[in-house]
Amino acid sequence: MKEYRVRPGTKLNLGKLDPDDTGDYKKNGNGKTKAKGATAELIARLGGLQERLYANATRALLIVLQGMDTSGKDGTIRNVMSGVNPQGCRVATFKAPTPLELAHDFLWRVHREVPPKGHIGIFNRSHYEDVLITRVHGLITDKQAKQRFDQIKEFEELLSENGTVVLKFFLHISKEEQRERLEARIRDPEKQWKFNEGDLEERKLWNEYLAAFEDVISATSTDHAPWYVVPANRKWYRDLVVADTVVAALENMKLQCPPAPEDMDFDKLKIT
């Protein structure tokens, strides 16, 4: 799955990346079935790795999910994280800042949500909203945006140096796929609550958002906090790519089960 990682210094062009890509898995036939089977195996491994992360309490994992509306951030969390213990996992989302949050620097509210050691944290949208929606709508200048790029890189480097592994995923869907998903929300009574007329206004700014994502991903994909552009038109392949990347990151921590207390003789213990 390494081909989806954005190398530092890369000038990203999302128009050249296929959101329908399914790697070695065919879009039809048994490719989908095989991918789902591989994802299930990864999710099972993820549960054991998370337990070691929690037991050691020396490292943390932060997963950042970004993408256009309907790109599948909620679905990714629901599917990929289905095998983890909720006690060791926390999800945060960032909406329009409150007056209190606006009275501080833009990263203040974000730092409070960073996962503690032993935990997996997931940002469903993130600090990147403050260089995406704010820039597209002219709330900050290009100069301010680039200054924030540097501040974000320094913030993520701080997290990395203190034991938090940072993985950032851009869920890449096509404009046509978004149209179909928005229409599905309108037609399905079980999904109509998700629909917001504001989504249609934001859709008109598709090209502007695409350019903003290209700039921010190019500027902030680093060795200590890489971006992955995940083809997300096919939900089953999206889940596979994210699960594979998360499992690899946890395995690279090389965490072992903590040793038993030295003064404990388990052979002599009896439970009555």
| 229-238 pLDDT tens trace | 999 999 999 9
pTM above 0.85, yes or no: yes
Pairing verdict, β 227-231 and 60-67: unpaired
Percent of the chain with pLDDT over 90: 82
pLDDT band at 29 (very low <50, low <70, confident <90, very high): low
| 179-202 pLDDT tens trace | 999 999 899 888 888 888 888 999
> Does residue 56 register a pLDDT over 70?
yes
pLDDT band at 156 (very low <50, low <70, confident <90, very high): very high
Task: Please state the domain extents for the chain.
Answer: 2-249
pLDDT band at 171 (very low <50, low <70, confident <90, very high): very high
Distance of CA 122 to the CA centre of its chain: 6
pLDDT the model gives residue 28: 63
| 58-67 pLDDT tens trace | 999 999 999 9
CATH architecture for segment(s) 2-249: 3-Layer(aba) Sandwich (3.40)
pLDDT the model gives residue 231: 97
pLDDT the model gives residue 1: 57
| 223-256 pLDDT tens trace | 999 999 999 999 999 999 999 999 999 999 999 8
Cα angle 22-24-28, degrees, rounded to a multiple of 5: 60
Residue at token pair 């917001």? 196
Say whether 95 sits in a helix, a strand or coil.
coil
- Pairwise CA distance, residues 261 & 110, whole Å: 37
- Pairwise CA distance, residues 173 & 166, whole Å: 22
- Pairwise CA distance, residues 154 & 157, whole Å: 5
Yes or no: say if 158 and 108 are a contact pair by the CB < 8 Å rule.
no
